[in-house]
């Protein structure tokens, strides 16, 4: 099957799972649930679920465990985008071509929707599974928690905010992106392995290394697309010049240098899987 067909198939699957999981949650707060639906179900490439499903399938993981893990990662991602778009952070009006959550609803509702998406992630991941041993499930919970919080994505976001208007070195830029975007991409891959069979666990470190290079490549590509395409970027179509006060790989290395960096990262990612 071609990669694009696989992506499409898994995007349909995760959209169905996310819709079902959200519908199944009882809440007296209709507005909150509507804001969560807005953040979770209106588009998105679903790259992280794709990684969880693909790696998990290679590792012979049970389908139901992959559904919960992929949905949990996407809930964390959706929460991070809602909070990232808030006036206190990037103050964006558009996300995925739609009004951002705080524009479609209000700021307080968007903060709560982000909070509730974050807790929903851990609710989904902790649902009892017959096929999954509880130690393994605990490892999955800790993996997602540390990738999301002060050792991962939140730390990266904080460093990124601190670095506004500063010119970062390549090493510092890499640290920001390893944490801000890379940690969750790595967790998406690690959850696929952890949901897999015992034999697959010996490949945990190799898959993690693969994901680290992939996460950085994702960011370099995003920086390249920001300058080579006016509206189509990997991340946002918010109509703002985001690179204006942030360090990017293109600023640091030039467009050709960033392309070289991207292909080096691509090679490193492939090599990690060939050990």
Residues forming the site for ligand GRG (CB under 6 A): 44-45, 47, 77, 80-81, 83-84, 96, 153-154, 157, 180-181, 219, 222, 234-236
Q: Where are the alpha helices (DSSP H) in the chain?
A: 3-24, 30-41, 47-58, 63-85, 101-104, 107-125, 134-148, 153-162, 170-177, 183-194, 204-228, 249-272
Q: How far is the CB of 58 from ligand GRG (least distance, A)?
A: 21
Q: How far is the CB of 263 from ligand GRG (least distance, A)?
A: 19
Residue 88, SS3 per DSSP = coil
Q: How far is the CB of 181 from ligand GRG (least distance, A)?
A: 4
Residue 98, SS3 per DSSP = strand
Name the residue among 92, 81, 201, 183 with its Cα closest to residue 139.
201
Closer to ligand GRG at the Cβ: 192 or 196? 192
Closer to ligand GRG at the Cβ: 77 or 129? 77
Q: How far is the CB of 198 from ligand GRG (least distance, A)?
A: 31
| Start-to-end C-alpha separation, the chain | 25
Closer to ligand GRG at the Cβ: 50 or 200? 50
Tokens found for residue 273: 């899987």
Name the residue among 123, 96, 100 with its Cα closest to residue 110.
100
Closer to ligand GRG at the Cβ: 49 or 196? 49
Closer to ligand GRG at the Cβ: 123 or 242? 242
Instruction: Return the biggest CA–CA distance within the chain.
Output: 53
Q: How far is the CB of 158 from ligand GRG (least distance, A)?
A: 8
């Amino acid at each position: 099957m071609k990669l694009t067909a696989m992506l499409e198939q898994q995007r349909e699957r995760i959209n169905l799972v996310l819709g079902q999981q959200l519908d199944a949650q009882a809440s007296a707060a209709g507005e909150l649930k509507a804001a969560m639906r807005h953040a979770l179900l209106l588009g998105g490439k679903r790259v992280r679920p794709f990684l969880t499903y693909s790696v998990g399938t290679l590792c012979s993981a049970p389908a139901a465990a992959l559904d919960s893990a992929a949905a949990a990662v996407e809930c964390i991602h959706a929460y991070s985008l809602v909070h990232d778009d808030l006036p206190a952070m990037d103050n964006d009006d558009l996300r995925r071509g739609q009004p951002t959550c705080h524009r479609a609803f209000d700021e307080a509702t968007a903060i709560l929707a982000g909070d509730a998406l974050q807790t929903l992630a851990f609710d989904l991941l902790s649902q009892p599974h017959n096929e999954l041993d509880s130690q393994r499930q605990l490892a999955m919970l800790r993996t997602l928690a540390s990738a999301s919080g002060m050792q991962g994505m939140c730390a990266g976001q904080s460093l990124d905010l601190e670095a506004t208007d500063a010119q970062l070195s390549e090493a510092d830029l890499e640290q920001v992106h390893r944490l801000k975007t890379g940690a969750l991409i790595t967790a998406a891959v690690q959850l696929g392995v952890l949901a897999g069979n015992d034999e697959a666990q010996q490949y945990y470190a190799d898959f993690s290394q693969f994901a680290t290079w992939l996460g950085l490549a994702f960011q370099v590509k995003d920086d390249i697309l920001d300058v080579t395409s006016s509206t189509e970027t990997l991340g946002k179509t918010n109509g703002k010049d985001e690179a204006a006060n942030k360090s990017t790989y293109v600023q640091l290395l030039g467009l050709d240098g960033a392309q070289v960096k991207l292909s080096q990262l691509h090679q490193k990612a492939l090599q990690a899987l060939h050990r």
